[in-house]
Amino acid sequence: MQAAQSQPQALPLRDIHIPDAIGLWPPAIGWWILAILIPIILYLLWRSVRFITRKTALKSAKKQFNALKINTELTAQQRLIALSQLIRRTAISLNVDKAVASLTGQGWLAFLNSSLTSPVFNDELGRLLTEGLYQSHIEEDNMTQLVAACEQWLQQQKEPKK
């Protein structure tokens, strides 16, 4: 009998089972949160950069205009060139519509007048702004009126256009 007890009995054991590999789908909740947050953060960052640069462009244009207005060393021709460049750069910076850059002549004047409460770029001032660069002599009185009109235009550009 002892011989029968010394034989181990076969136990009904199963082999070790390794769990299945974790699949890629569905992603964990952290990946879903990242997928939602990253585009939102990028959009907000893009909007804030646009807002800051537009505000900075307007502030910079106003500072440059004041420096131009004070500068007495410039001739009327040089002042007109600088004023025209400043107004055009400011308009391009403030407007999303890139067609502003290609406007000339009456289209340019119509754009400038459209962003004012009352149009100031009439035929005489408009002609001076668009064609004065090619004239040999510019009257100081006309130049003073143009500077005032451009200052009014700059002052009314408070909020950047969207």
User: Is 133 a member of any domain?
Assistant: yes
SS3 content of the chain, % helix, strand, coil (to 5): 65, 0, 35
Number of folded domains that form the chain: 1
Q: What is the pLDDT of residue 41?
A: 98
Evaluate whether residue 125 is within a structural domain.
yes
Percent of the residues in the chain that have a pLDDT greater than 90, as a whole number: 26
Cα–Cα separations (whole angstroms), residue 109 to 24, 47, 154 = 60, 30, 14
Query: How far is CA 51 from its chain centroid?
Result: 6
Average pLDDT over all residues of the chain: 85
Greatest mean pLDDT among 3-7, 21-25, 144-148: 144-148
Whether 117 is covered by a domain: the verdict is yes
- Do the domain assignments include residue 6? no
Q: Let me know if residue 7 belongs to a domain.
A: no
pLDDT in tens, 50-109: 888 777 888 889 999 999 988 888 888 889 999 999 999 998 888 877 788 888 888 989
Determine, yes or no, domain membership for 140: yes
Spatial separation of the C-alpha atoms in residues 100 and 108, rounded to whole Å = 8
Q: Tokens standing for 121?
A: 């770029």
Assigned domain for 37 exists: yes
pLDDT per residue as tens digits for the range 86-103: 999 998 888 877 788 888
Is the pLDDT at 32 greater than 90? The verdict is yes
Containing structural domain, residue 136: 32-155
The answer as to whether 10 is a domain residue is: no
Tens digit of each residue's pLDDT (9 = 90 or more) over 112-155: 988 888 888 887 888 888 888 888 788 888 888 889 999 999 98
pLDDT at 1 over 80: no
